[in-house]
Amino acid sequence: MSVTVLDRGAAPVLDRLRRPLRDLRISVTDRCNFRCVYCMPKEIFGRDYAFLPREQLLSFEEITRLARVAVANGVEKIRLTGGEPLLRKGIEELIRMLAALRTPSGAAIDLALTTNGSALAHLAPALAEAGLDRVTVSLDSLDDATFQAMNDVRFPVGRVLEGIDAAAAVGLGPVKINMVVKRGYNDHDIVSMARHFKGTGHILRFIEFMDVGSTNGWRLDEVVPSDEVIARIAAELPLEPIAANYPGEVAGRYRYRDGGGEIGVISSVTHAFCGACTRARVSVEGQLFTCLFATRGHDLRALMRGGGTDDELAEALTGVWRSRDDHYSQTRSAHTAIPDASARERRVEMSYIGG
């Protein structure tokens, strides 16, 4: 067996803009029990929406195989997402399989999961026991009326907060909390969210509403720029910027001057961070995407199910990465200048590709 391709050792796999492959996001289901207005609007994802049949999804063995090849080629962090990843039956088993992977230098990988928190109170102990390192929980408001208007399925805030507590109690922290800010929907809650999570050890991150997919009716005037978010909080709770944890960290970091902890801002619209983007994504069906805003993926499932070897899989993965030159957020204005969203090329949905 040739090990030259699969086991590449320390040589980083660089794309055309010299960005290494470091992170892998894997979408484990296209289904979700929420219908967040910015992600899976009910008018599109209604009762008769055709989600993928089970046999189309990558199996846990296929996901692990793909992840193992990616880790042999530079990936150090894996994040499970969706749809809602905790809806995938037996997710703990997948976590156990992924947690056993080692980098070429023998280190464990960093294994995280992004969830809407609805099943976390119940599942957190099993996830931690299986080897998950951390969770990110999405929560857009502390006010039930606002939160329910955003998740659009009347899911109460209290159950998500219970999930956050359960995750922290079993060591899945520091828990990050993602708040997508949409002007006119939940921007009035920015400061109350900051106040609530200040001093808890959880890291609240404000995410600019993005123009992912082609169904969420994105409009620039509904984006609240991160600079405005920081200014609104700092007016009441003094803040100062802090350095990134590592090169390529997507969140801008700030801390409370009184020592109450830190917050983050993810400014994918107003401050593009494509230059440091080291992230590949695998869809539920095993399509490899090199950008959240891609219009097409590369079919790795066909290769695996067609009897491809690990070396062939590694060659496909690294070949796609090497030819990558995506930098959508840096050129967004050129795309969004087209007024009619339907005239934009059809982009893949966030729930399919994984956020």
- Binding residues for ligand SF4 (CB under 6 A): 32, 34-36, 39-40, 82-84, 116, 138, 268, 273-274, 277, 291-293, 326-329, 351
Q: Which positions from 318 through 347 interact with ligand SAM, judged by CB under 6 A?
A: none
The residue from 19, 25, 38, 123 that contacts ligand SAM (CB under 6 A) is 38
Determine how many CB atoms are found less than 10 A away from the CB of residue 33.
Answer: 14
Closest separation between CB of residue 171 and ligand SAM, Å? 20
Q: Torsions phi, psi of 202, nearest 5?
A: -85, 150
Q: Which two tokens stand for residue 167?
A: 């995750």
- With CB under 5 to 8 Å by kind, the binding choice for 326 among ligand SF4, ligand SAM, none is ligand SF4
The yes or no reply on residue 264 touching ligand SAM (CB under 6 A) is: no
Comparing CB distances to ligand SF4, the nearer of 84 and 187 is: 84
The amino acid at residue 307 is: G
3-state secondary structure at position 239:
strand
Comparing CB distances to ligand SAM, the nearer of 73 and 141 is: 141
Q: Angle, nearest 10°, between helix axes 120-130 and 91-99? A: 30
Give the residue carrying structure tokens 């079993």.
170
Closest separation between CB of residue 341 and ligand SF4, Å? 17
- With CB under 5 to 8 Å by kind, the binding choice for 40 among ligand SAM, ligand SF4, none is ligand SF4
The residue from 30, 84, 92, 228 that contacts ligand SAM (CB under 6 A) is 84
Return the closest-CA partner of residue 16 out of 313, 274, 282: 274
**CA separation, residue 341 to residues 183, 295, 297 (Å):** 19, 14, 21
What distance lies between CA 201 and its chain's CA centroid?
A: 21
The yes or no reply on residue 150 touching ligand SAM (CB under 6 A) is: no
Specify the stretch interacting with ligand SAM by CB under 6 A; choose among 96-104, 153-161, 184-192, 207-215: 207-215
Q: Which two tokens stand for residue 187?
A: 């921007």
**CA separation, residue 41 to residues 34, 149, 152, 177, 218 (Å):** 9, 11, 8, 22, 12
The yes or no reply on residue 216 touching ligand SAM (CB under 6 A) is: yes
User: Where on the chain is the footprint of ligand SAM (CB under 6 A)?
Assistant: 32, 38-39, 81-82, 84, 114-116, 138, 178, 180, 207, 209-210, 212, 216, 350-351, 355
